[in-house]
Amino acid sequence: MSLFRKSANETKTNDGSKDVSEIKREIRKESKMAEEKAATLTQDVEIKGTIKFSNAMKIDGKFEGEMLTEEGELFIGKTGSVKANVKVKNAVIEGRMDGNVTATEKVELKEKAHLVGDLKARILVIEEGVVFVGNCNVNPDGFKTENTNFKEWKKETKKGPE
């Protein structure tokens, strides 16, 4: 008797739970769908302030300030430049990011990404060619973003040389 029942669409164990490869495929699919539905700051946009969002945000322009979301995903495109403390569910960075990142799930640093700041995440993926200057804390048990005090973090960031 086989432990797995396979169909064309999904793989499940006899108890109905999904295997690890199916879960990974779903996460990739959700990230791609979120990126397609993202609010986008285009290359010609510059914004300063606080951005709060719930779905997805793609930045190809310049942003300075603070970004907060409980369930949202942040995409910093190749032309994106962000100077901010960020707390998100997931982040994909292809451009430049100056500031601290706390992700309750996953951070991906793509090939030409520049991250100057501290990073906390449950999962971290770093491609070859990334520039990362800062402290890194990867914890499979995750981090609670609501306990992060960004005002204190912002003060600490400003104390260092720029």
Parse the chain into domains and list their residue ranges: 35-159
**pLDDT (0 to 100) of residue 41:** 84
156 token code pair? 């600490």
Name the DSSP class of 16.
Answer: S
Structure tokens given for 11: 């793989």
**Whole-number Å distance between alpha carbons of 25 and 21:** 6
- 64-81 residue pLDDT tens: 999 999 889 999 999 999
Residue 25 in this model has a pLDDT that exceeds 50: yes
Say how far apart CA 72 and CA 82 lie, in whole Å.
Answer: 17
Q: What is the DSSP letter of 146?
A: G
Task: Indicate the SS3 state at residue 46.
Answer: strand
pTM over 0.75: no
Predicted pLDDT of residue 150: 46
